[in-house]
Amino acid sequence: MTALLEVDAVDTFYGPIHILQGLTLRIEPGELVCLLGGNASGKSTTLKTVLGLVSPRNGSVSFAGEDVTRRPTSYRIRKGMAIVPENRRLFAPMTVLENLQMGAYLHGGGTKEDFDRVYDLFPLLHERRAQLAGTLSGGEQQMVAMGRALMSKPKLLLMDEPSMGLAPILVERSFEIIKQVHESGVAMLVVEQNANVSLSIADRGYVLSTGRLVLEGPAESLRENEDLRKAYLGR
Amino acid sequence: MSTDPTDPANPESPRVGVDEWVASHEQRRTHRSGFAGVVERELARVPSPAFYLGFGVAAAILPAVTSNGYVINVGVNTLLYMLLALGLNITVGYAGLLDLGYVAFYGFAAYGYAMLASPQFGLHWDTLAVIPLVVVATAILGLLVALPSRRLVGDYLAIVTLFFGELFATVYQNGESMSLLGFTKPHNITGGPNGIVNIDQFHVFGARIGALNYTAYYYVALVFFMVLLFAAYLVDHSRTGRAWRSLREDPLAAELMGMPVNRLKLIAFACGAGIAGLAGTIFAAVNTAVFASEFDFTSGLLIIVYAMLILGGAGSLGGVIVGALVVNVSLEVLRDPGHATWVFYVLIAATLVAKLRPWRWLAVIAAGTVGFGFAVHAIVSAVWPRGVHGQAAVGGVLGSGLSHWVILPSNPVTIGNVAFISLVLAVLVLTLLKGWAQKLAMIPTLYLAAFVWENRLVVEPSITRLILVGVILIVLMNARPQGLLGTSRVEIV
């Protein structure tokens, strides 16, 4: 069976600086994979490479069996990727409804089913659809950001630090939602610093350190791993 | 009864972990009470196209109400400004691309019309053919300018487009002898500094608008403006309009949603340029002459159009109408030194009333300034009689009052220039002082300002009216940073 996403021996540079060094990872359809790592380990660069915001010098990125290494971001989005960006990046002076419409930009602004699907998942968004996104609280903004990403009915949802800037109770809530979305059949790549929570819901995990893959495996075995515990779980 | 907000026994207090505030946010919305509140709520229910239509009807009746040629002439100008602001509103207001070469598109189209309908090349094409041709050509020019700049943002884009604007003016200014890279004989293309004159009036199938028939051009401009205004309204509420706004708010997030960011930028540039192009053709026909110097940076046209957009509220269509009206009408009113003097003193008085607290200081400063003036006037008229022989520019009560209050020397140029510099220094000193010292220092500074105004500024209306419009802009932007009809920005924190 072909993987949904295959990143193969990718080298990514920012100018002369070598960031990702021969990174290889794959995500099967419907799988929830988390990508762990400390600061400056290359987590966000991995996402940017997957999305095509930066292009790798060597290696390839394949999505749904197709080599998309030289394709622009909009092509990859059209093929079924979606992202919840770091810090959410909502369109603050636009309403919740308009934000959702922008999520389905490549699909003509979203069908009724798309909206129903998102509103079923987040009933609060339906209630707040006429409110300006910038006036929502952090947790609500996170819901808008996820709803916006789900509007395009993605096959692969990328999440950049979903726990950032949220209260502990909202982090838990947020991961419940991630789990729920995953159970509906969407494959996910969750980039996180919060190893504990993300490993508790993930199928598999990768651990990055200074641009190299240092650990990979099923989530349970990673949770048992002594090195990882010392490095990220603080126990 | 307990007043501890965390006490669950107190039903009035917010409870921990229950988000009642958010659930009840609609009830917490405050409303203005009384008549003003009723008016505000009723106005909010009227859809904005109704206001545009109202403006269109009012503007259409204007020539029926007045036959004053000057008023109609100003009306044509204002409508041209509105068209320009409408185009700029798409590029800058919607898509957020800081285009400082905008006026060049206006000039390009004006020259385009001039070349195709004047004795310059002996061409007298039908207006129905020229306008679409020129508008499309201008839109394509906008596309070409945007093409190399599509990766640039903010100040970098501004500099490149500013360069393009100046390039346009320079080339057209020197275009009386152009050859293709030296291979051909030089030809007179743009008329150089003499521009192109004797441009045809609009003519369709032999029927033409008579020379100086401003009323006809007024209606032509009005119809074009109204059609484009409604088109812009529809675009604003379309997928493309929303995409432009999201592009303006967060280009990276827009790209992450899969929007074709570059294409959206190009379309915004081309649309803005096309509308400027339409305004340019009307401009050329109304004035029957075009000169390159009307479109360069020193003409101030770019600044004025931006002032309209910012004053009205970038991104707001109603703001385009209001901004162009306020700025252009102010500029016209300020042509007259008497009107300008009134505006000057009312502005100062309004600023003092708005900013000075507590009230007793306002009284002290007002009385102090008046007393100070009469005292200085009395001393000067005793010591140096020629120092009070001048005439105030404004007549009536204000004028006769002023001539007993401000020193008006018979030859004010040198002393006026010295006073101008002193005024700048005095304002700087004023910002360094604090408390009562600052308040007291305001008295001579205000007097000095009046002196500089009466002796130096009022005799040069072409400069002072721009200064005054600038001051109006600063005062208004302080009160409403989002512009008169703009929506306030919300930042995500």
CATH class held by domain B52-333: mainly alpha
Q: Does the pLDDT at position A132 exceed 70? A: yes
Quote the percentage of chain A above a pLDDT of 70: 98
Q: Does the pLDDT at position B221 exceed 90? A: yes
Average pLDDT value for residue range A128-148: 89
A95: contact with B, CB 8 A cutoff? no
Q: How many residues does chain B have?
A: 493
A57: contact with B, CB 8 A cutoff? no
The per-residue pLDDT for range B144-165, each reduced to its tens digit, is 999 987 888 778 999 999 999 9
Q: Does the pLDDT at position B3 exceed 50? A: no
Residue B410: pLDDT band with limits 50, 70, 90: confident
Q: Does the pLDDT at position A149 exceed 80? A: yes
Task: Say if the Cβ atoms of A92 and B249 lie within 8 Å.
Answer: yes
Chain B nearest-CA residue for A106: B258
Give domain limits for chain B. 52-333, 339-459
- From the list B283, B294, B138, B295, the residue with the least C-alpha distance to B202 is B283
What's CA A95's distance to the chain center, in Å? Answer: 23
Q: Does the pLDDT at position B476 exceed 50? A: yes
Average pLDDT value for residue range A216-226: 88
First-to-last alpha carbon distance for chain B, in angstroms, is: 38
* CB of B459 closer than 8 Å to CB of B335: no
Q: How many residues does chain A have?
A: 235
Tokens of B366: 């007002």
pLDDT higher at A77 or B435? A77
- From the list B150, B465, B449, B345, the residue with the least C-alpha distance to B473 is B465
Q: Does the pLDDT at position B491 exceed 80? A: no
pLDDT of B31 reads: 67
Average pLDDT value for residue range A8-24: 93
- From the list A73, A74, A91, A154, the residue with the least C-alpha distance to A118 is A154
Task: Say if the Cβ atoms of B256 and A73 lie within 8 Å.
Answer: yes
Give A-chain residues touching B260 at CB under 8 angstroms: 74
- From the list A121, A99, A127, the residue with the least C-alpha distance to A186 is A121
CB interface of B with A, residues 101-130, below 8 Å: none
* CB of B165 closer than 8 Å to CB of B273: no
Average pLDDT value for residue range A193-221: 89
- From the list A42, A37, A32, A40, the residue with the least C-alpha distance to A5 is A32
**Residue A36 domain-assigned?**
no
Q: Does the pLDDT at position A235 exceed 80? A: no
Q: Does the pLDDT at position B480 exceed 70? A: yes
A123: contact with B, CB 8 A cutoff? no
Q: Does the pLDDT at position B489 exceed 80? A: no
pLDDT of B83 reads: 97
Q: Indicate the residue of B250, B258, B487 with minimum beta-carbon distance to A73.
A: B258
Q: Cα–Cα distance between B276 and A223 in angstroms, integer?
A: 63
> Which range is most confident: A226-230, B107-111, B338-342?
B107-111
CB interface of B with A, residues 47-76, below 8 Å: none
B257: contact with A, CB 8 A cutoff? yes
Quote the percentage of chain B above a pLDDT of 70: 92
A123: left (phi over 0), alpha (psi -120 to 50) or beta: alpha
**Residue A141 domain-assigned?**
yes
Q: Indicate the residue of A74, A94, A135 with minimum beta-carbon distance to B259.
A: A74
**Residue A122 domain-assigned?**
yes
Give B-chain residues touching A92 at CB under 8 angstroms: 249, 489-492
One-letter amino acid for residue A191 of the chain: V
Q: Does the pLDDT at position B21 exceed 90? A: no
pLDDT higher at B411 or B194? B194
H or E element: which one contains A159? strand A156-160
A133: contact with B, CB 8 A cutoff? yes
Task: Say if the Cβ atoms of B492 and A133 lie within 8 Å.
Answer: yes
Encode burial over A219-228: b for 16+ CB neighbours within 10 A, e otherwise.
beebbebeeb
ipTM: 0.87
Q: How many domains does chain A have?
A: 1
One-letter amino acid for residue A71 of the chain: R
The angle subtended at Cα A131 by Cα A126 and Cα A136, nearest 5°, is 95
pLDDT of B309 reads: 94
Provide the shortest C-alpha distance from residue A154 to chain B (in Å): 11
pLDDT of A40 reads: 83
| Average pLDDT taken over every residue of chain A | 89
Domain assignment of residue A130, given as a range: 87-153
Q: How many Cβ atoms from other residues are within 10 Å of residue B422's Cβ?
A: 15
**Residue A51 domain-assigned?**
no
Q: Cα–Cα distance between A124 and A144 in angstroms, integer?
A: 9
Q: Indicate the residue of B239, B256, B490 with minimum beta-carbon distance to A109.
A: B239
pLDDT of A41 reads: 87
Q: Does the pLDDT at position B433 exceed 60? A: yes
**Residue A146 domain-assigned?**
yes
Residue B409: asked if its preceding bond is cis (omega within 30°), the reply is no
Q: Are strands A32-37 and A17-27 parallel, antiparallel or unpaired?
A: unpaired
Average pLDDT value for residue range B25-29: 61
Q: Does the pLDDT at position B284 exceed 80? A: yes
Provide the shortest C-alpha distance from residue B488 to chain A (in Å): 8
pLDDT higher at B367 or B35? B367
Q: Does the pLDDT at position A38 exceed 50? A: yes
**Residue A106 domain-assigned?**
yes
H or E element: which one contains B273? helix B261-287
Which of helix, strand or coil describes residue B134? Answer: helix
In sequence order, which residues have a C-beta less than 8 Å from that of residue B360 and are 6 or more positions away?
A: none
The angle subtended at Cα A59 by Cα A53 and Cα A60, nearest 5°, is 65
H or E element: which one contains B349? helix B337-355
* CB of B438 closer than 8 Å to CB of B444: no
**Residue A54 domain-assigned?**
no
Residue B7: pLDDT band with limits 50, 70, 90: low
Q: Indicate the residue of A78, A88, A90 with minimum beta-carbon distance to B258.
A: A78
**Residue A111 domain-assigned?**
yes
pLDDT of B5 reads: 47
